[in-house]
């Protein structure tokens, strides 16, 4: 079974600064996807960024980037130039890769509440 | 293209009553997933359905919970004889059909239904 751990229940950052959210996971699988989802106060789940485990290059999406360390089973999210609209709960998630098997079941961490202060 | 629709957004039930949660997937999506988010927790997979078929219900409680996705109409998550521990946010996600060789299908989430059991 897969587990996802987010060790920071809450974090805060000043507007325009950079913040890093941590995530570790445990799996015996070799091929998988990792995700960061954002859940603002509206509670809508929004996909922020996705990383394929077989890719060594870290994924980036505008101000969002990840630091993927496969051997350490670590997947942190860096938010640059933080904006007030980034205030949200952030969830790290895992999905097995490949046809067949549970390649649809997302496993989530408990989340990190990020507050961006003006 | 409308997103995933869920209704009601908020549902209050007394212990022992039934709760029916509805999910209309995005247009063209034939796969539906239900997740439950308990307070202070991440989302947990409950069930995966395709039209008229339950593919994986490994995350569903053995009793009182059922799900369906009929040929016509929305997917329904039904909770009979609700108890206080059922209070949670219930999220539905949908994805398009898997295509040959494709190993990942993004899940698009609805806004969730917050169930409160008095």
* pLDDT tens-digit readout, B14-25: 999 999 999 999
Which H or E element spans position B24? strand B19-24
- A102–B43: do the CB atoms touch at under 8 Å? no
Q: Which residue of chain B is at minimal alpha-carbon distance from A43?
A: B111
Q: Which residue of chain B is at minimal alpha-carbon distance from A102?
A: B56
Q: Decide if pLDDT at A8 tops 60.
A: yes
How many angstroms separate the CA of residue B19 from the nearest CA in chain A?
Answer: 20
- B42–A33: do the CB atoms touch at under 8 Å? no
Calculate the average pLDDT of chain A.
Answer: 92
pLDDT for the residue A102: 65
Residues of A in contact with B33 (CB under 8 A): 104, 106
Q: Of A12-16, A51-55, A68-72, B85-89, which gets the smallest average pLDDT?
A: A51-55
| DSSP SS3 for B33 | strand
- In tens, the pLDDT along B65-113 reads 999 999 999 999 999 999 999 999 999 999 988 776 666 778 999 999 9
Per-residue pLDDT band for A98 (boundaries 50, 70, 90) equals low
Q: Decide if pLDDT at B48 tops 90.
A: yes
Per-residue pLDDT band for B39 (boundaries 50, 70, 90) equals confident
pLDDT for the residue A38: 96
pLDDT for the residue B101: 67
Nearest to B52 by CA among B73, B37, B36: B73
Between A46 and B98, residue with greater pLDDT: A46
Most A CBs within 10 A among B3, B33, B43, hence the mutation to make, goes to B43
Angle at A67 between CA B39 and CA A75, to 5 degrees: 35
Residues of B in contact with A47 (CB under 8 A): 106
Alpha helices in B16-89 (DSSP H): none
pLDDT for the residue B99: 73
**pLDDT above 70 coverage of chain A, percent:** 96
B8: preceding bond cis by omega (within 30 degrees): yes
């Amino acid at each position: 079974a897969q587990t996802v751990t987010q060790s920071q229940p809450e974090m805060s950052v000043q507007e325009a600064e950079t913040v890093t959210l941590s995530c570790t996971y445990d799996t015996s699988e070799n091929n998988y996807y990792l995700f960061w989802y954002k859940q603002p106060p509206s509670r809508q789940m929004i996909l922020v960024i996705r990383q394929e485990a077989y890719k060594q290059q870290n994924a980036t999406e505008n101000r969002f980037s990840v630091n993927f360390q496969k051997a350490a089973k670590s997947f942190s999210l860096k938010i640059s130039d933080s904006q007030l609209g980034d205030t949200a709960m952030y969830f790290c998630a895992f999905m097995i890769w490949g046809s067949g098997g549970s390649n649809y079941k997302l496993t989530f961490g408990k989340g990190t509440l990020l507050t961006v202060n003006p | 293209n409308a997103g995933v629709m869920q209704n009601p957004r908020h549902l209050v039930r007394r212990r022992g009553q039934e709760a029916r949660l509805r999910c209309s997937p995005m247009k063209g999506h034939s796969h539906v997933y239900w997740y439950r988010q308990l307070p202070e927790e991440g989302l947990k997979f409950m069930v995966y359905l395709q039209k008229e078929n339950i593919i994986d219900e490994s995350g569903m409680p053995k009793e009182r919970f059922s799900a369906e996705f009929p040929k016509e109409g929305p997917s329904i998550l039904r909770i009979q004889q609700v108890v206080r521990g059922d209070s949670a946010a219930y999220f539905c996600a949908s994805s398009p059909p898997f295509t040959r060789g494709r190993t990942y299908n993004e899940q698009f989430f609805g806004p969730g239904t917050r169930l409160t059991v008095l």
